[in-house]
A and B are shown apart, each in its own frame.
Chain A
Amino acid sequence: MRIFQSWRYPANWRIFRLDDRLLLILAAIIVGSCSGLASVILNRALMAMFNWFHHLRHYWWVFVLPATGAALSSLFLEKVVKEGAGHGVPEVIYSVSRYGGLLRFRSSFSRLISSALTIGSGGSAGPEAPVVISGAAIGSNIAKYFSLNDRQRVTLVGCGAAGAISSIFNAPIAGMVFAIEVIIGEWKSVNIVPIAIASVAGTEISRILQGNQIPFSHRIFNIHQMDILACVGLAILTAAASILLTRLLRSMDKIAKKVPAPLWIRAAIGGCAVGLIGLFLPEVLGKGYHVVQTTIEGAFSQGLIIVGLATIAKIVATALTLGWGGSGGIFAPCLVIGCLAGLTYHHALVLLWPSITWVNQGCFALLGMAGLISGMLQAPLTGIFLIVEITGGYEVILPLIIVSAVTTSVCHYMEPAAYYMKDLVEYGHLLRPGTDARVLSDLNVSELIEKDCIAVTQNMLLRDFIKIVKKSHRNYFPVEDEETGHFMGIIHLDDIRQYLFNPVMYDTVFLGQIMNTAVEVVNPDDDLADVIRKMDANHLFSMPVVVNNRFIGLISKGSLLDQYRKELMVQTCQSI
């Protein structure tokens, strides 16, 4: 029985309690392996579904296939596991910034199933984001199992995301950088070490089960100065493509919300539209990695117009799939769109300046991918490392950096928030560590209440009040009703200073006559940022905290500064 008990609470095992960092590293290995496994499972499932449905491609009715898949995945998410649609990365970031990385256990498999249904049936979406949320949820739940604190849990959530990306792309550095740059947003060694280990674990799992292969291997490119110059143009094209994709995704979402139909019918409509596009341009269906592969090898032989059309069609198909309620990520579509955009750009260059010998079209495809990833995620490092690793092409690093940097800046100029953070920023939910918003959201009103105020009653004479003023340390005096104890108003010494020195008024004025009743009050559950906004708007220094008509205490800017500073020091100092 005792052995069983100790298995239930692994947090109490002596080996884990030796050192917190050791515990975190051990947990990181487990999390990385599990999320690596999740990504291998999804990959296998997608391959199997691709094989089942491959022979159906010849029939004319095949366009309903994506519709069925999207509808099923939407039904599964809505009715069975009761989770929202979408790709899930914003949810992970939201939970990291607000709830210390708490995620539900069911999140660790729900998106895997729904995205397998959507993508396997031909919807234009990627398997990466679902794997990221699965990995993150696995990390969060393992942290819960070990009863770790918020900070460690956030690190393990990052580990899950890192393991997932590392494993699905066989790219350990990209996974690491993605987890830190996009998910956690804090470059500290306490985070980096476990995340790096999780990346290694995730990559190793995928190499054991699937073999060590570079997803998009390519031939060697000979890059000249002209090509590097041409990169800037490509960067602007990819920036335009990513802005188009972002706007289209969001507008599709808005249009879909206006359709008076259940979620699964909306998803089916989107899927149908994708299927129809797929009848003419089969490249847009599925995650579309075969397109990337053929392009990088330089075997994609279509002309400029077809490639340009395919680029736009892929953007539209992705927006239709994801905006109308299908489930999946934007990573894979980004890669495909970037690849097609690069190809379009190459064709255009060849058409305009046929005399110059441009580098192989595969190189531009590769740069386009980096551009789109950087533009959509506004995470230049993730874009650079991901492309270097999935193509094994270190020789393109210079143009790669240029494209990533330019695209990120242009996109940032046009769309200040990255696609993943857009909703979060809109609702004020993006709270990166060490920022003002984070400190204010962590502090709450009840921690700041000062209780050394002396309450007075409204029927008190000014003479008696002056005796109380002598004893008090504060300038504010709450007025309470004698019988009910309800809060009536507040007396601020500044308001009544001239009466204090006029002895004639001592016995003629009651406090009820001079108190301020139109006073803004605070509830202990109020958001601190709102409280401060109220203080600023009304030029207040202190505000009374009132619950159920009873005065609890005072909240003032003086103590707020004190607490704010302590909180900031604890949050931003180099940690233990």
Chain B
Amino acid sequence: MQQVSDVRSNAHLTIGKITGLARVSTDTLRYYERERLIAPTAKSAGGYRLYERDALQRIRFIKQAQQCGFNLAEIRSLLALRGSNAACCRDVRRVALEKKLQLEAKIKSMKVMSNALSQLVKKCSGDNRPLDDCSILVALERAEGVKRKSR
């Protein structure tokens, strides 16, 4: 790793500066580093991590991709794709489309869960009766085939 004597150099950003500009915490940045999504390119004479200006754009990319539902492993693949000469926009579209399909499948399954909960809530009287008579607990236990111990 390159050692830079003057940290005021415009080419490099300290961890404080880059996290401030990217609006992420230093913990987040260190986490990205551990996940091999980003790496400091130099160290100051005092041993502080220094980042190139491109790293700022990379952090923003990571944050935006996370907001679109990509996990860090997927973001690593996306970044690799971004840096690949052999890849093209079509490859990125495929990744984005497959992510959308995964999200849609999750939404579908969560809707099923939500509907199941609606049914349980609808059936429950919600009064002061003891837990042994609670229709939600009874229905959940029946579904699992487990008999609840009386309290």
Do A and B bind?
no
Spell out A's residues near B (CB within 8 Å): none
